[in-house]
Chain A
Amino acid sequence: SQTIHQWPATLVQPVGSPLSLECTVEGTSNPNLYWYRQAAGRGLQLLFYSVGIGQISSEVPQNLSASRPQDRQFILSSKKLLLSDSGFYLCAWTGGTYGYTFGSGTRLTVV
Protein backbone atom coordinates (compact mmCIF):
# COMPACT_ATOMS: atom_id res chain seq x y z
CA SER A 1 0.00 0.00 0.00
CA GLN A 2 1.05 3.57 -0.51
CA THR A 3 2.16 5.65 2.45
CA ILE A 4 3.57 9.11 2.89
CA HIS A 5 5.99 10.08 5.64
CA GLN A 6 6.73 13.57 6.78
CA TRP A 7 9.06 14.75 9.52
CA PRO A 8 9.63 16.25 11.95
CA ALA A 9 6.14 16.64 13.42
CA THR A 10 7.02 19.86 15.24
CA LEU A 11 9.90 22.25 14.93
CA VAL A 12 10.88 25.45 16.70
CA GLN A 13 13.56 27.45 14.94
CA PRO A 14 15.08 30.89 15.54
CA VAL A 15 14.78 33.63 12.96
CA GLY A 16 17.64 33.45 10.48
CA SER A 17 18.29 29.73 10.93
CA PRO A 18 18.09 27.24 8.05
CA LEU A 19 15.24 24.81 7.47
CA SER A 20 14.93 21.37 5.98
CA LEU A 21 11.69 19.40 5.98
CA GLU A 22 11.56 16.00 4.36
CA CYS A 23 8.77 14.01 2.79
CA THR A 24 8.97 10.51 1.37
CA VAL A 25 6.41 8.35 -0.37
CA GLU A 26 6.35 4.56 -0.38
CA GLY A 27 4.54 2.06 -2.53
CA THR A 28 4.37 4.06 -5.72
CA SER A 29 6.65 5.36 -8.43
CA ASN A 30 6.84 8.67 -10.25
CA PRO A 31 4.25 10.42 -8.07
CA ASN A 32 3.40 14.08 -8.34
CA LEU A 33 4.54 15.70 -5.11
CA TYR A 34 3.35 18.92 -3.46
CA TRP A 35 4.21 21.19 -0.54
CA TYR A 36 1.37 23.14 1.06
CA ARG A 37 1.38 25.61 3.92
CA GLN A 38 -1.49 26.31 6.24
CA ALA A 39 -1.61 29.44 8.35
CA ALA A 40 -3.70 29.38 11.52
CA GLY A 41 -7.41 29.38 10.72
CA ARG A 42 -6.82 29.37 7.01
CA GLY A 43 -6.96 26.97 4.11
CA LEU A 44 -4.00 25.33 2.48
CA GLN A 45 -1.81 27.28 0.11
CA LEU A 46 0.14 25.46 -2.57
CA LEU A 47 3.85 26.34 -2.38
CA PHE A 48 5.65 23.93 -4.73
CA TYR A 49 4.90 20.97 -6.90
CA SER A 50 7.02 18.44 -8.73
CA VAL A 51 6.17 16.04 -11.53
CA GLY A 52 9.56 14.30 -11.54
CA ILE A 53 13.11 14.18 -10.21
CA GLY A 54 14.71 17.59 -10.31
CA GLN A 55 11.52 19.24 -11.62
CA ILE A 56 10.24 21.91 -9.25
CA SER A 57 7.61 24.56 -9.87
CA SER A 58 6.84 27.36 -7.46
CA GLU A 59 3.36 28.75 -6.97
CA VAL A 60 4.19 31.83 -4.93
CA PRO A 61 7.34 33.91 -4.41
CA GLN A 62 8.73 33.26 -0.96
CA ASN A 63 11.67 32.62 1.28
CA LEU A 64 11.49 28.88 0.70
CA SER A 65 12.78 26.45 -1.90
CA ALA A 66 12.08 22.84 -2.75
CA SER A 67 14.08 19.99 -4.20
CA ARG A 68 13.39 16.47 -5.37
CA PRO A 69 16.66 14.54 -5.31
CA GLN A 70 14.97 11.14 -5.65
CA ASP A 71 11.72 9.94 -7.19
CA ARG A 72 9.91 9.59 -3.88
CA GLN A 73 11.65 12.27 -1.83
CA PHE A 74 10.60 15.89 -1.62
CA ILE A 75 12.43 18.45 0.52
CA LEU A 76 11.40 21.93 1.61
CA SER A 77 14.23 24.26 2.59
CA SER A 78 15.13 27.75 3.62
CA LYS A 79 18.50 29.37 4.09
CA LYS A 80 17.24 31.94 6.60
CA LEU A 81 13.85 31.61 8.26
CA LEU A 82 11.55 34.58 8.79
CA LEU A 83 8.84 34.93 11.42
CA SER A 84 6.28 34.81 8.62
CA ASP A 85 7.45 31.31 7.69
CA SER A 86 5.67 29.91 10.75
CA GLY A 87 2.83 27.58 9.89
CA PHE A 88 1.71 24.04 9.31
CA TYR A 89 3.52 22.47 6.35
CA LEU A 90 1.99 19.57 4.52
CA CYS A 91 3.38 17.29 1.88
CA ALA A 92 1.01 15.54 -0.53
CA TRP A 93 1.13 13.20 -3.49
CA THR A 94 -1.10 12.04 -6.32
CA GLY A 95 -1.17 8.83 -8.23
CA GLY A 96 -3.12 6.68 -5.83
CA THR A 97 -6.64 5.32 -6.05
CA TYR A 98 -8.17 8.08 -3.96
CA GLY A 99 -6.55 11.07 -5.55
CA TYR A 100 -4.54 13.31 -3.30
CA THR A 101 -3.04 12.03 -0.07
CA PHE A 102 -1.51 14.27 2.56
CA GLY A 103 1.18 13.60 5.11
CA SER A 104 0.67 14.29 8.80
CA GLY A 105 2.30 17.71 8.61
CA THR A 106 5.06 19.67 10.34
CA ARG A 107 4.19 22.46 12.74
CA LEU A 108 6.92 25.08 12.31
CA THR A 109 7.27 27.92 14.79
CA VAL A 110 9.86 30.56 14.04
CA VAL A 111 10.86 32.50 17.14
Chain B
Amino acid sequence: GESVGLHLPTLSVQEGDNSIINCAYSNSASDYFIWYKQESGKGPQFIIDIRSNMDKRQGQRVTVLLNKTVKHLSLQIAATQPGDSAVYFCAENRDRGSTLGRLYFGRGTQLTVWP
Protein backbone atom coordinates (compact mmCIF):
# COMPACT_ATOMS: atom_id res chain seq x y z
CA GLY B 1 0.00 0.00 0.00
CA GLU B 2 0.96 3.64 -0.04
CA SER B 3 2.98 4.88 2.86
CA VAL B 4 4.23 8.06 1.26
CA GLY B 5 1.82 10.95 1.28
CA LEU B 6 1.80 14.59 0.34
CA HIS B 7 0.51 17.42 2.50
CA LEU B 8 -0.83 19.60 -0.33
CA PRO B 9 -2.56 18.08 -3.31
CA THR B 10 -2.43 21.37 -5.27
CA LEU B 11 -0.06 24.31 -5.28
CA SER B 12 -0.36 27.50 -7.32
CA VAL B 13 2.53 29.94 -7.57
CA GLN B 14 3.44 33.02 -9.54
CA GLU B 15 6.14 32.74 -12.14
CA GLY B 16 9.48 33.65 -10.59
CA ASP B 17 8.47 32.68 -7.07
CA ASN B 18 9.95 29.74 -5.21
CA SER B 19 7.87 26.58 -4.78
CA ILE B 20 7.98 24.13 -1.93
CA ILE B 21 6.34 20.72 -2.22
CA ASN B 22 6.17 18.56 0.88
CA CYS B 23 6.03 14.83 1.44
CA ALA B 24 5.72 12.63 4.52
CA TYR B 25 6.83 9.05 4.71
CA SER B 26 6.12 6.49 7.37
CA ASN B 27 8.79 3.82 6.92
CA SER B 28 11.87 4.68 8.93
CA ALA B 29 13.79 1.90 7.14
CA SER B 30 13.58 3.70 3.79
CA ASP B 31 17.05 4.79 2.73
CA TYR B 32 16.55 6.37 -0.66
CA PHE B 33 14.08 8.96 -1.89
CA ILE B 34 13.34 10.34 -5.32
CA TRP B 35 11.31 13.25 -6.64
CA TYR B 36 9.61 12.84 -9.99
CA LYS B 37 7.85 15.28 -12.27
CA GLN B 38 4.99 14.01 -14.40
CA GLU B 39 3.41 15.98 -17.19
CA SER B 40 -0.02 15.05 -18.42
CA GLY B 41 -0.06 11.79 -20.36
CA LYS B 42 3.64 11.15 -19.89
CA GLY B 43 5.78 8.92 -17.72
CA PRO B 44 7.41 10.34 -14.58
CA GLN B 45 10.68 12.16 -15.11
CA PHE B 46 13.49 11.97 -12.57
CA ILE B 47 14.23 15.30 -10.87
CA ILE B 48 16.49 14.66 -7.92
CA ASP B 49 17.23 11.98 -5.37
CA ILE B 50 18.66 11.81 -1.88
CA ARG B 51 19.97 9.05 0.33
CA SER B 52 19.15 8.79 4.00
CA ASN B 53 22.71 9.66 5.03
CA MET B 54 22.18 13.17 3.66
CA ASP B 55 20.00 16.08 4.81
CA LYS B 56 20.13 18.19 1.70
CA ARG B 57 20.96 17.87 -1.93
CA GLN B 58 20.94 20.51 -4.62
CA GLY B 59 20.45 20.33 -8.34
CA GLN B 60 19.78 22.87 -11.00
CA ARG B 61 17.07 25.13 -9.50
CA VAL B 62 15.92 22.30 -7.24
CA THR B 63 16.80 21.35 -3.69
CA VAL B 64 15.62 18.34 -1.74
CA LEU B 65 15.60 18.41 2.05
CA LEU B 66 15.28 15.30 4.18
CA ASN B 67 14.30 15.40 7.83
CA LYS B 68 14.55 11.87 9.15
CA THR B 69 13.47 12.86 12.64
CA VAL B 70 9.97 13.70 11.48
CA LYS B 71 10.08 11.59 8.31
CA HIS B 72 9.60 14.56 6.05
CA LEU B 73 10.85 15.31 2.57
CA SER B 74 10.54 18.52 0.60
CA LEU B 75 11.30 19.70 -2.90
CA GLN B 76 12.16 23.33 -3.41
CA ILE B 77 12.04 24.81 -6.88
CA ALA B 78 13.71 28.18 -7.30
CA ALA B 79 12.38 30.82 -9.70
CA THR B 80 9.47 28.66 -10.76
CA GLN B 81 8.66 28.75 -14.47
CA PRO B 82 5.49 27.89 -16.42
CA GLY B 83 7.30 24.79 -17.70
CA ASP B 84 7.48 23.53 -14.12
CA SER B 85 3.71 23.04 -14.09
CA ALA B 86 3.14 19.32 -13.57
CA VAL B 87 2.35 16.75 -10.91
CA TYR B 88 5.23 16.08 -8.53
CA PHE B 89 5.64 12.78 -6.73
CA CYS B 90 7.96 11.69 -4.01
CA ALA B 91 8.88 8.05 -3.84
CA GLU B 92 10.71 5.95 -1.29
CA ASN B 93 12.81 2.85 -1.60
CA ARG B 94 12.34 0.58 1.39
CA ASP B 95 14.71 -2.12 0.20
CA ARG B 96 17.58 -1.01 2.37
CA GLY B 97 20.70 -3.03 1.69
CA SER B 98 19.26 -4.89 -1.27
CA THR B 99 19.11 -4.32 -4.99
CA LEU B 100 15.38 -4.90 -5.39
CA GLY B 101 14.83 -1.22 -5.90
CA ARG B 102 11.07 -1.15 -5.37
CA LEU B 103 9.61 2.34 -5.23
CA TYR B 104 6.50 3.37 -3.32
CA PHE B 105 4.82 6.57 -4.38
CA GLY B 106 2.69 9.20 -2.75
CA ARG B 107 -0.42 10.63 -4.32
CA GLY B 108 1.27 13.64 -5.92
CA THR B 109 0.98 17.42 -5.87
CA GLN B 110 -0.30 19.38 -8.84
CA LEU B 111 1.89 22.46 -9.29
CA THR B 112 0.44 25.26 -11.39
CA VAL B 113 2.60 28.23 -12.30
CA TRP B 114 0.82 31.45 -13.29
CA PRO B 115 2.52 33.97 -15.59
Contact = CB atoms under 8 A, between A and B. Distances in A.
B107 A42 contact: yes
A5 B115 CA distance: 35
B42 to A, nearest CB: 6
Nearest to A104: B43
Contacts, number: 61
A104 B42 contact: yes
Given A43-B2, A43-B106, A43-B107, A32 B43 contact: no
Interface range, A side? 20 to 34
B101 A94 contact: yes
Nearest to B6: A43
**Residue of A36, A59, A100, A102 contacting most chain B CB atoms (<10 Å):** A100
A64 interface: no
Q: Which applies to chain A's interface (DSSP): helix, strand, loop or mixed?
A: strand
A45 B105 contact: yes
A46 B43 contact: no
Contacts of B43: 6, 90, 102-105
B103 A100 contact: yes
A51 to B, nearest CB: 7
A89 to B, nearest CB: 10
A90 B101 contact: no
Contacts of B105: 36, 43-45
B41 interface: yes
Interface of A: 6, 32, 34, 36, 41-46, 49, 51, 59, 90, 92, 94, 98-105, 107
19 contacts: A34-B101, A42-B108, A43-B107, A44-B103, A49-B102, A51-B100, A90-B43, A92-B103, A94-B101, A98-B46, A99-B32, A99-B46, A99-B49, A100-B34, A102-B44, A104-B42, A105-B42, A105-B43, A107-B41
Q: Closest 8 A-B residue pairs measured CB to CB?
A: A43-B105, A102-B43, A44-B105, A94-B101, A105-B43, A43-B107, A102-B44, A104-B43
